[in-house]
A and B are shown apart, each in its own frame.
Chain A
């Protein structure tokens, strides 16, 4: 366990570097005295200066330190060293003919409220008691806070919203719980409406819409839905299987491309995602296709190398004969406060232009999308409400806010 000592070295180094950098970069309004001279409290000085250690002594002391670290770590078992997974052969396509063909293209897109029918029963009468009482008391405020926090709006945002509301109550003389709720909804709706929500499409094609996000949020399914919508509006679509990591990811997208009538460009599993996207854009340009929908592998924003890879994919896509007109971050509506961190990191890396909020047909309210738009100014452009090709709607602020409190 010698690495533990190395760990101590760089822990200290990390702290020192952080202190150094924190000291250098001014932070507005913090009112603290930068820079910190030292992050550590002053040590007590030894009473007598000991003689410098001999090499044997150094080795012995190091060995002791290692032994103690080992003893400490023995309390917490660490995982085994990761094996290298055997690279799979190019997988044969699984005959999944049972996938039902999509028929009746003229289906009206689903609305929030239809989907909410299922969820309503779980949350029936959620704020019923608040409204029933009529007046505004401490409990009213508590229940409002609960409603917002449980919608994943986040405590900080909730507190600031309610503080604003309190001021409004005084200024406008609101006296009923209903009035309070309506005022809050109005504020939220207004905040959400102040952005341009349209999907950017440049006349000079092909356009490239890049889909990014963490694992399991629904990127590939969303591409299927977007592809379906675009094809039915008369555009020619090429899908790029930029997820070269996950088992059968390209197969999954291939099935979608067949389902909706789009072309597919894929590479070998484990290959370079940037190359696949580049290839797709070039082919789309050659065929004069309108739109390239580029899938990428799910990745946690904490993985530095994967985020670097994503930056590269974007750069490579820019170099191709097309325009990257949208970088859509797909966020799962059940995500908690980590969604904001995700949005921040992805935006820093690849400059996100819009959010797709998926799985809003469950009981999660997706309040994190509010925080994302508020804090980062990124508009929610699309909402996913199911697993079929039609389950995609434009984000509607009024419906979203109403659903927050239903």
Chain B
């Protein structure tokens, strides 16, 4: 697991307390760490070089703020630089005066174009539009069939003709006009940017349909090659926007930054799952945190939203505030946590955790043992762990197949947690209700 940037900097900046400004040598050391973090996140080599140079300019000579530690300040600069690089001008979709508004989707094989087309169709319907899907991928077996199924799910008609992609696409636009559809979404076959014949075909499709918006679909787990792909497609088709797919994985997504930097077009949408509703506008700030490995609380919240029952959550909330959180609740929480994904990646999303914790090898099997310990306790013991004397602890240890020191550790940890949560509740009342900085 990758250490967060904060952890990397801690040691370096420990020495800087009391100094007024950030000297160049200090900044260089920090920049090396930033470079490592970005490369590990799959940001392109050259893009990293330029970015680090820009960050250096902003850091050297910067006054050390009174409220932020030097580490935090540099991170803030880096974070903001990334947000600026990823964001900037958003793509405003304006509809053509003479319908249909044509969208063309292009990209490598397997990037997620067909699924994105289905999602766009649904999205436009929600905006009150009447889209049509045009299947111009005649290369991949059953691609049109896939699009038909997606069209059905989205409630949108699908047109395709088993001719050649260029003719089909053009015919599709005609059909769109005939049916009075105001948006036409054209799916194309995946193609390599170095395949001259196919890139030429893409140009001809574009010429035939005259798209108002051409989207490049990029897989979030793409590595260094993202720049080559983006540059070639942009040169051939003039990309208007990017759709980043498979963001529901745990790839850091540096490709997003690389692509944005080399073609300068906005990342319009983020695809966050296999189902049609898993589609949303792109958030530069979330992506910046994700690339830096800084934890992504907002994504964590979304995962929680998916896994949590509202009734459960309310109950937990009240208990949290009043300090009535019991071991049974702890057990419940563990079940919820297990639903949400490998605990290793969840821990990675929590900002502010000490690095020993983040990098710890967490064996999911251990969760089972913790569960066993709690289940070996009687309801009374779970309600009030204070009654756990030596003989009870021994009994529980035997019953769950662990040692007494394991039982001790759990009870101690739980007590700490109860205390923490009470304070969290109190602290949150005073200021903004966010996950407090735990450093």
Contact = CB atoms under 8 A, between A and B. Distances in A.
B249 A214 contact: yes
Contact of B313 (A3, A22, A332): A3
B363 A13 contact: no
Contacts of B429: 61, 64-65, 68
A82 B277 contact: yes
Interface in A62-86: 62, 64-66, 68-69, 71-73, 76, 78-80, 82-83, 85-86
28 contacts: A3-B310, A4-B433, A6-B312, A8-B435, A11-B300, A11-B435, A16-B417, A18-B362, A20-B413, A23-B409, A25-B363, A73-B301, A80-B277, A85-B153, A85-B275, A85-B276, A91-B148, A96-B138, A216-B109, A247-B146, A300-B248, A300-B249, A301-B250, A336-B254, A337-B252, A338-B42, A359-B192, A362-B192
A98 B164 CA distance: 9
Given A80-B277, A302-B249, A37 B224 contact: no
Interface residues of B, number: 130
Best-buried of B219, B302, B419 by chain A (most CB within 10 Å): B219
A129 to B, nearest CB: 15
Interface in B234-292: 246, 248-252, 254-255, 272-278, 280, 283, 285-286
A362 B222 CA distance: 13
B188 interface: no
Contact of B194 (A53, A118, A302, A368): A118
B317 A66 contact: yes
B144 to A, nearest CB: 5
Given A41-B439, A96-B141, A99-B141, A7 B300 contact: yes
Interface string A142-156: 000010011110111
Contact of B320 (A9, A19, A334): A9
Which interface class (under 10, 10 to 19, 20 to 34, 35 or more) fits A? 35 or more
B337 to A, nearest CB: 6
B108 interface: yes
Contact of B251 (A15, A216, A336): A336
B308 interface: yes
Given A13-B337, A22-B356, A85-B276, A215 B228 contact: no
B409 A24 contact: yes
Nearest to B345: A302
Contacts of A64: 429
A5 B316 contact: yes
A15 B341 CA distance: 15
Given A23-B409, A64-B429, A251-B141, A338 B221 contact: yes
Going nearest first, the 7 A-B pairs with the smallest beta carbon separation are: A336-B223, A216-B110, A336-B42, A5-B317, A22-B360, A6-B313, A247-B149
Contacts, number: 368
B388 interface: no
A376 interface: no
A256 B314 CA distance: 52
Interface in A331-376: 332, 334-339, 341, 345, 359, 361-365, 368
B16 interface: no
B7 to A, nearest CB: 13
A2 interface: yes
Given A17-B334, A22-B356, A341-B250, A152 B223 contact: yes
Best-buried of B138, B222, B338 by chain A (most CB within 10 Å): B222
Contacts of B334: 13, 17
B304 A248 contact: no
Interface stretch (B72-80, B346-354, B389-397): B346-354
A301 B155 CA distance: 31
Interface in B285-336: 285-286, 298, 300-302, 304-306, 308, 310, 312-314, 316-322, 325, 329-330, 333-334, 336
A67 to B, nearest CB: 8
